[in-house]
Amino acid sequence: ILSAQSPYEIATGMLQQIDRLIAADRIGVVMFDFGSEEVIPLALKIGSIAQPGPLASIPLYEYPLQDSLWEGQFSHVDDLTMLSELERSPMTDRWGADGMRSYTIFPMLIQGRLIGALHLAQETPGPRSVEELSIARELTDQIAVAINQADLNARIQRHTAELEQRVAERTRELAEANTRLQELDRLKSKFVADVSHELRTPITNLSMYLHLLERTTAPRKRSQYAEVLNTQVTRLARLVEGILDVSRLDLSTRNRVAFSPVRLNLVVEQIASANRPRIETAGLTLDIDLMPELPDVWGEPNQLAQVVANLLNNAVNYTPAGQIILRTGYDERRGNVYLTVSDTGIGIEAEDLPHLFDRFYRGHQPEGLDIPGTGLGLGIVKEIVDLHQGTIVVESTPGSGSTFTVSLPLLGGRS
């Protein structure tokens, strides 16, 4: 049963009882705090009974802590003013100065542990009766038990409150996790819907042109249809490729891919040389400007290679003529490594900019151009950059070109 009484209230109640049963001009109930080395007054009778509440505590060394207390024995002196130098303490001096003569102190023990004391004083010197001493002793034991119980209760209550708070916190965390999962679930459903939608067009086209092909005998028409079929198959293949990339990324987000120090220049060089033939066939020039001794970034090499590949791929696709520049550098002020991919291509219209990194989003193209794509490339880039705690920005002037800048935190910047 939890009692709501504080140690102060318990001590005051006991002190009233003592006052009724024993003649004393002064009574004090105190607790010892050996941690902070203080004596905490719980209840005092100085003339009248007072519950001190948070009264100023007394330093432990000012207190008469006789050896007998530790052994569970009370001690009594007939006259405080007759104490030897060794027996005196600032407290006995104070009580003596206040006119007290006879003085008795009883230890409060819990399983042999000294937790406090009761002391009594009289203005008249002399011994206490055996009867009084045994009553005082009995009451002191009771106070000790009650205070100990109150202390225990307070600790249980504190512990319960802590537990309740932890449960509340955990509940809140779970609710948040649930919201996140619901959001993920919603995104997943949207992705599936988007994928089905995107797949439907090439498949419809395929069956339509197959149908036409079957029904046509004119060789010129037939080869025209075959060409359309070819284009649609390529588009379908590209879509499936992109969708696989996206789901691989989803998996790695969930499984926390292993990061390691990555030499970004090396990644850029590999992707550049793999794409050079295609770029030159398209009549474009590729310039590479890599900062020597670029610090390593903290990342996953295959994912970073995909970022470079997708950006370069777009630069090639959306640049009818001119130049592509791959550049790396180190921004000392921001403490990150960056990669820029610039082109002299068609550029991006302002209204496309906010959606560029959305899955399946495709921007407007100038009249007459029909550049194939899936709208997945930049979405994948953005997700990888986010996984690396980096940023991506794009600057573009429609008609004259675009620059994508990816910034990645340094090796030391990992969290």
Enumerate binding residues for ligand ADP (CB under 6 A). 314-315, 318, 343, 345-348, 352, 356, 361-363, 373-379, 402
d(CA 16, CA 305): 84
Q: Are 128 and 21 in contact (CB under 8 A)?
A: no
For 158, counting Cβ atoms within 10 Å of its Cβ (0-12 exposed, 13-18 middle, 19+ buried), the class is exposed
**Closest residue to ligand ADP: CB criterion:** 363
For ligand ADP, which is the closer residue by CB, 15 or 380? 380
Tell me the one-letter amino acid at 270.
Q
* Smallest separation, CB 367 to ligand ADP (Å): 14
For ligand ADP, which is the closer residue by CB, 297 or 312? 312
Query: What's the length of the chain?
Result: 415
* Smallest separation, CB 402 to ligand ADP (Å): 4
70 phi and psi angles, rounded to 5 deg: -65, -25
* Smallest separation, CB 228 to ligand ADP (Å): 20
Q: Are 40 and 57 in contact (CB under 8 A)?
A: yes
* Smallest separation, CB 395 to ligand ADP (Å): 11
* Smallest separation, CB 253 to ligand ADP (Å): 18
Residue 118: count other Cβ atoms within 10 Å of its Cβ. 27
Distances (CA, A) of 160 to 94, 164, 169: 43, 6, 14
* Smallest separation, CB 211 to ligand ADP (Å): 28
For ligand ADP, which is the closer residue by CB, 293 or 367? 367
d(CA 264, CA 179): 37
* Smallest separation, CB 374 to ligand ADP (Å): 4
For residue 394 the two structure tokens come to 């794009």
For ligand ADP, which is the closer residue by CB, 356 or 385? 356
* Smallest separation, CB 316 to ligand ADP (Å): 8
For ligand ADP, which is the closer residue by CB, 64 or 363? 363
Q: Are 339 and 312 in contact (CB under 8 A)?
A: no
DSSP 316-371: HHT-SSEEEEEEEEEETTTTEEEEEEEE-SS---GGGGGGTTSTT------TT---
Q: How many degrees, rounded to 5, is the angle at CA 76 between CA 74 and CA 78?
A: 175
For ligand ADP, which is the closer residue by CB, 45 or 382? 382
For ligand ADP, which is the closer residue by CB, 77 or 356? 356
For ligand ADP, which is the closer residue by CB, 228 or 316? 316
Distances (CA, A) of 82 to 7, 85, 95, 96: 34, 9, 13, 10
d(CA 80, CA 100): 7
For ligand ADP, which is the closer residue by CB, 236 or 315? 315
* Smallest separation, CB 389 to ligand ADP (Å): 21
